[in-house]
Structure 1
Amino acid sequence: MRFKNMPLVGVKAGGDAGLKDGQFEAYASVFGNVDSYGDVVVKGAFAESLKEWDASGLALPVLWGHNMQDPDYNIGHVVEASEDEHGLKVRAELDLESPKAAQVYRLLKAGRVSQMSFAFDVLDAAMAERDGDDVYELRELKLYEVSVVPIGANQETEVLAVKGMAEQMTAAVRDGRELPTKTIDALRGVRDAIDQAITLADPPEKSDGTAGGNDEAGQETRKSEADPGAAARRLTLLELAGINHDDPEGD
């Protein structure tokens, strides 16, 4: 399961014509724009999933911050959802008897939260070219929920998004497709960021048993002394991200 965040676009809250108290309208996804991962959602990507939700008779949940474990964070449901030329437009209704939902509604009306997000799986996607750039078109998505989220993605969401991107790129290479240079560079960047984070968070011990610091001696110690524990943790994180640390280009 993956997540995508976007700024609230044209949000309207209760008091606007046609909206009941507790309702708001927003775009949970916008078509055609290329995000930071090189993905672009195309019109029609949600069509089948919306039909499935409609046929099920169940309500598409509205959550706060993608929290699926705590029922207190299930703050409402989608009343209407449709695709237009701009994107996936939703009319949501918050459960104002819930203190958390009532607070989120106040935040929305005051403009103190400014993003929507949605949880999805990719059912159909392919590399394509737009305006001379290589992009990854998301052509059919399975929609699980929409969320109101604070500014910026939380760390777990970012890790899952990176993991999902790496998995998609790995699948593309296995299918015989050539990755764009900028995508390979992005994967290298993820690998390097993981290396740096682990080094800072869990430096190997010096020969005298103290933790290695940023001094020259500590740096030389890190170069000369391998830490099997740190190496194993590095490998685990790289594997979770779907990246072959010995072969960053995925060949």
Structure 2
Amino acid sequence: MAMDGQLEQKFCRVEGELAVTDGAVIEGYASLFEDRDRGGDIVVKGAYAASLKRLRDEGRQVKMLWQHDPAQPIGVWDEVREDERGLYVKGRLLEQVARAREAAALIAEGAIDGLSIGYRTVKAVKNDKGRRLLQELELWEVSLVTFPMLPSARVGAKGESRDDPPMRELARVFDDARRELARG
């Protein structure tokens, strides 16, 4: 979607780990800079800065949702910031919410391994290969998701290496399934 004001979503399987500690605290990267996603878009460093500042100034927070469903908030993001790698998030699943308890169990077992952002494009340009370079985004929410879109990154259970052969094979199977679903 171009810059028409509609909500867009980007899925990210994060390099490293989406860790759940103390049964409720989760952290990971919701977006990686300079990495092309399956839609061909590339988020550039600094794309979230204005949005994060505006949210802070207005005393608002990025929402934590389950599978981008606005009717299913499952926790709160206590920390959302850009660093050299991308958009880092750290928050708490609310143990009083049934879906949040389910999400913690699914993450711990490796059944859920993705984060996805919901945003509106404020500024984007096309590069010489026709790819959108997302230069400024209005961040609305970060969701826990089943099928992330960014192929170069993954989230794993604590202590799991992304280079483990079974994980590479599983990632390949999911990539193939996503391609088939996209063909419709």
Shorter-chain TM range is 0.7 to 0.9
Name the SS for the 2:55 alignment partner: helix
Name the SS for the 1:138 alignment partner: strand
Counterpart of 1:97? Answer: 96
Instruction: Say whether residues 1:140 and 2:136 are aligned partners.
Output: yes
Instruction: Say whether residues 1:5 and 2:36 are aligned partners.
Output: no
1:48-99 deviation per Cα after TM superposition (whole angstroms, max 9, x unaligned) = 111111122223210000111x2xx100111001111111000021111111
Q: How many residues are matched?
A: 144
Instruction: Say whether residues 1:14 and 2:13 are aligned partners.
Output: no
Paired with 1:152 and 1:78, the residues of 2 have a C-alpha distance of 19
Instruction: Say whether residues 1:114 and 2:113 are aligned partners.
Output: yes
1:137-182 deviation per Cα after TM superposition (whole angstroms, max 9, x unaligned) = 00000001000011357xxxxxxxxxxxxxxxxxxxxxxxxxxxxx
Instruction: Say whether residues 1:151 and 2:126 are aligned partners.
Output: no
- Identify, as 1 or 2, the structure richer in helix: 1
Counterpart of 1:184? Answer: none
Name the SS for the 1:145 alignment partner: strand
Counterpart of 1:246? Answer: none
Counterpart of 1:66? Answer: 68
Instruction: Say whether residues 1:50 and 2:52 are aligned partners.
Output: yes
**Structure 1 residues not aligned, in runs of 5+:** 16-20, 154-192, 198-251
1:90-112 deviation per Cα after TM superposition (whole angstroms, max 9, x unaligned) = 00211111111111011112211
Paired with 2:148 and 2:126, the residues of 1 have a C-alpha distance of 27
Q: How do 1:33-44 residues align onto structure 2 when only pairs under 5 Å count?
A: 33-44=35-46
Name the SS for the 1:59 alignment partner: coil
Normalised by the length of structure 1, the TM-score is 0.54
Paired with 1:128 and 1:143, the residues of 2 have a C-alpha distance of 22
Counterpart of 2:26? Answer: 24
Letter in 1 for 2:10: K
Counterpart of 1:123? Answer: 122
Q: How do 1:209-220 residues align onto structure 2 when only pairs under 5 Å count?
A: none
1:34-58 deviation per Cα after TM superposition (whole angstroms, max 9, x unaligned) = 1222210001000011111112222
Greater RCO, CA 8 A, separation 6+: 2
Letter in 2 for 1:3: Q
Paired with 1:152 and 1:57, the residues of 2 have a C-alpha distance of 29
Contact 2:65 2:143 in 1 (8 A): yes
Name the SS for the 2:131 alignment partner: strand
Paired with 1:51 and 1:109, the residues of 2 have a C-alpha distance of 32
Paired with 1:8 and 1:105, the residues of 2 have a C-alpha distance of 17
* Structure exhibiting the larger radius of gyration computed from Cα positions: 1
**Structure 2 residues not aligned, in runs of 5+:** 1-6, 150-182
Letter in 2 for 1:34: R
- Cα RMSD, aligned residues only: 1.7
Name the SS for the 1:37 alignment partner: coil
